[in-house]
């Protein structure tokens, strides 16, 4: 029996109890959220993980992505990225390798984390077809479903599945065009396959079969966003909205069958369209958990895209997004290093917290920090910091003569001056 079916039957499972404790809500709140499709807890019958609730009324979660590329296949580095992502406080991990031995890499990544791990089975199916048959367009439909089941058995907790790409979506893309092209790897693979073979996307046409696999292995379905914008000028266009509508309908079908569902969102969005995207997604999907990819709010800051995405993610979270996919400083430039993975997670965690201050009205930690700074309590400030080690390192590198103050103000610390004469 799936978690959705347990929730509908009124049963509160251990997973629901654990998430309720972590989030500070009642167990029945979590149960009702899962039963209604507003909350998911990615689980797997094949491995125990640090459970993570994603959805309405819960803290905004951050995903970090790792994985090889066709140019760089360094499994040891991917394992180190996995460790750095977890050390930085990521809530989940996606393993998205496109080079090397796919199953072995995923097996090693899973073995080196306690987090829920996601994947995109479509990558492996198309790339294996290119290796064996010479082109991605020769992918066999049966291989796509076989690989989905294989990855599930490794202990994969959630999967991005590109269900919303069909002939209607492709028609909208063709009719309107794009300033930034089609940037989703999965979207490009599937669109090319459909056009070459003149066949419907099997993930759409055989959706019920896909659901059988997902339910058998208790994998959470994350409806892939193959038509996401890769440039702010393409945000909220017809192809994106068409895919969202299809995924919303399929998401309802999946939930009815007892499969947990997350809906993925677009990638590059100008600030003035973020609220619209969140409201639209929540409305048409019946308030299913929203997985926002970024979003990046400008296209002209390569090398700093973790900061660009953090701006968009903070607003997305404030408006109601539930799940954020991190972006690293090397986005659009290169495969990230372990250090960049760590920085990307920290940037996204800050953004998620900023959003939760609005969405959940949770500002206790900020109030404590304000008191600690007022009282010049440096140890408490470090404890409350998002990255305590970094905060402590910077202060220790430039320690002032007067250890109550810092070298920004030194003898003229405003707090110290006023504290001599005034008690707050």
Domain count within the chain:
2
213 and 347 in one domain? yes
Identify the pLDDT of residue 411: 81
Report the CATH number that the domain containing residue 91 is assigned in CATH.
3.20.20.540
Ranges 48-52, 57-61, 169-173, 403-407: which has the least confidence: 403-407
The C-alpha atoms of residue 385 and residue 391 are separated, in whole angstroms, by: 7
Identify the pLDDT of residue 414: 83
Q: Is residue 367 part of a domain?
A: no
Q: What is the DSSP string of 89-133?
A: T-SEEEE---SS-HHHHHHHHHHT-SSEEEE-HHHHHHHHHHHHH
Q: Last residue of some domain: 325, 359, 393?
A: 359
Identify the pLDDT of residue 68: 98
378 and 342 in one domain? no
- The model's confidence at residue 422, banded by pLDDT at 50, 70 and 90, is confident
pLDDT in tens, 71-94: 999 999 999 999 999 999 999 999
296 and 167 in one domain? yes
> Would the pLDDT of 12 be above 90?
yes
379 and 268 in one domain? no
Q: 3-class DSSP state for residue 2?
A: coil
Which residues are paired to 157 by β-bridges? Answer: none
Q: Is residue 395 part of a domain?
A: yes
Q: Is residue 322 part of a domain?
A: yes
Average pLDDT of the segment spanning 62-68? 98
pLDDT in tens, 91-131: 999 999 999 999 999 999 999 999 999 999 999 999 999 99
Average pLDDT of the segment spanning 400-416? 83
Q: Is residue 18 part of a domain?
A: no
Identify the pLDDT of residue 419: 78
pLDDT in tens, 14-38: 999 999 999 999 999 999 999 999 9
188 and 281 in one domain? yes
164 and 244 in one domain? yes
Which residues are paired to 325 by β-bridges? Answer: 63, 293
Identify the pLDDT of residue 275: 98
Q: Is residue 69 part of a domain?
A: yes
Identify the pLDDT of residue 418: 79
Q: Is residue 335 part of a domain?
A: yes
Identify the pLDDT of residue 413: 80
190 and 145 in one domain? yes
Average pLDDT of the segment spanning 262-266? 94
Q: 3-class DSSP state for residue 62?
A: strand
Identify the pLDDT of residue 404: 83
> Would the pLDDT of 400 be above 90?
no
Identify the pLDDT of residue 409: 84
Identify the pLDDT of residue 1: 83
391 and 334 in one domain? no
Q: Last residue of some domain: 359, 384, 400?
A: 359
Identify the pLDDT of residue 405: 81
312 and 262 in one domain? yes
404 and 271 in one domain? no
Vertex 339 angle, CA 333 and 344, to 5°: 65
C-alpha distances out from residue 42 to 177, 340, 373, 386, Å: 36, 26, 39, 25
Cis peptide before 90 (omega within 30 of 0): no
Helix, strand, coil in percent for the chain, rounding step 5? 55, 10, 40
348 and 405 in one domain? no
390 and 267 in one domain? no
Q: Nearest CA to 151 among 222, 73, 219, 74?
A: 219
Q: Is residue 39 part of a domain?
A: no
Average pLDDT of the segment spanning 330-359? 98
Identify the pLDDT of residue 161: 98
Which segments within 250-327 are labelled E, that is strand?
261-264, 290-293, 323-325
Q: Is residue 340 part of a domain?
A: yes
Which segments within 109-206 are labelled E, that is strand?
116-119, 158-161
Total count of residues recorded for the chain = 424
> Would the pLDDT of 420 be above 80?
no
Q: Is 28 exposed, middle or buried (CB count within 10 Å of its CB: 0-12, 13-18, 19+)?
A: middle
Q: Last residue of some domain: 312, 328, 359?
A: 359
pLDDT in tens, 167-215: 999 999 999 999 999 999 999 999 999 999 999 999 999 999 999 999 9
- Domain of residue 108 covers 58-359
> Would the pLDDT of 424 be above 80?
no
Contacts of 257 (CB under 8 A, 6+ apart): 211, 215
Q: What is the end-to-end Cα distance of the chain in Å, rounded?
A: 57
pLDDT in tens, 204-255: 999 999 999 999 999 999 999 999 999 999 999 999 999 999 999 999 999 9
> Would the pLDDT of 302 be above 90?
yes
> Would the pLDDT of 57 be above 90?
yes
- The model's confidence at residue 402, banded by pLDDT at 50, 70 and 90, is confident
- The model's confidence at residue 410, banded by pLDDT at 50, 70 and 90, is confident
- The model's confidence at residue 353, banded by pLDDT at 50, 70 and 90, is very high
Identify the pLDDT of residue 251: 98
Average pLDDT of the segment spanning 136-142? 97
Identify the pLDDT of residue 39: 98
Q: Nearest CA to 331 among 313, 306, 355?
A: 306
Mean pLDDT of the chain: 96
Identify the pLDDT of residue 406: 85
């Amino acid at each position: 029996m799936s978690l959705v079916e347990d929730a509908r039957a009124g049963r509160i499972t251990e997973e629901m109890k654990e998430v309720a404790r972590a989030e500070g809500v009642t167990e029945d709140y979590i149960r009702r959220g899962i039963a209604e499709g507003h909350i998911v807890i990615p689980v797997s019958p094949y491995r125990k993980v640090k459970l993570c609730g994603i959805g309405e009324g819960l803290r905004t979660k951050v995903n970090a992505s790792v994985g090889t590329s066709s140019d760089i296949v360094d499994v040891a580095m991917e394992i180190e990225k996995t460790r750095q992502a977890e050390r930085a406080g990521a809530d989940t991990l996606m393993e998205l390798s496109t080079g090397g031995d796919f199953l072995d890499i995923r097996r090693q990544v899973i073995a080196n984390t306690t987090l829920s791990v996601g994947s995109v089975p479509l990558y492996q199916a198309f790339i294996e077809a290119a290796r064996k048959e010479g082109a991605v367009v020769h992918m066999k439909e049966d291989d796509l479903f076989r690989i989905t089941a294989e990855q599930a058995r490794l202990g994969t907790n959630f999967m991005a599945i590109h269900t919303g790409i069909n002939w209607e979506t492709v028609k909208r893309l063709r009719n309107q065009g794009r300033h930034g092209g089609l940037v989703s790897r999965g979207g490009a693979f599937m669109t090319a396959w459909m056009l070459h073979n003149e066949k419907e996307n099997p993930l759409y046409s055989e959706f019920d079969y896909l659901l059988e696999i997902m339910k058998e292995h208790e994998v959470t379905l994350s409806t892939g966003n193959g038509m996401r914008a890769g440039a702010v000028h393409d945000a909220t266009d017809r192809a994106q909205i068409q895919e969202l509508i299809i995924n919303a309908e399929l998401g309802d079908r999946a939930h009815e069958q007892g499969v947990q569902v997350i809906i993925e969102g677009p990638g590059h969005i100008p600030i003035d369209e973020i609220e619209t995207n969140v409201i639209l997604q929540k409305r048409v999907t019946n308030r299913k958990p929203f997985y926002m990819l970024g979003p990046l709010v400008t296209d002209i800051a390569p090398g700093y895209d973790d900061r660009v995405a953090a701006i968009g993610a903070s607003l997305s979270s404030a408006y109601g997004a539930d799940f954020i996919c991190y972006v690293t400083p090397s986005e659009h430039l290169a495969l990230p290093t372990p250090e960049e993975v760590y920085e990307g997670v920290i940037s996204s965690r800050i953004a998620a917290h900023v959003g939760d201050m609005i969405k959940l009205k949770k500002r206790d930690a900020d109030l404590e920090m304000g008191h600690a700074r007022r009282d010049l309590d440096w140890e408490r400030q470090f404890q409350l910091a998002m990255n305590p080690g970094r905060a402590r390192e910077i202060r220790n590198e430039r320690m002032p003569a007067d250890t109550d103050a810092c070298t920004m103000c030194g003898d003229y610390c405003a707090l110290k001056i006023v504290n001599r004469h005034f008690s707050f």
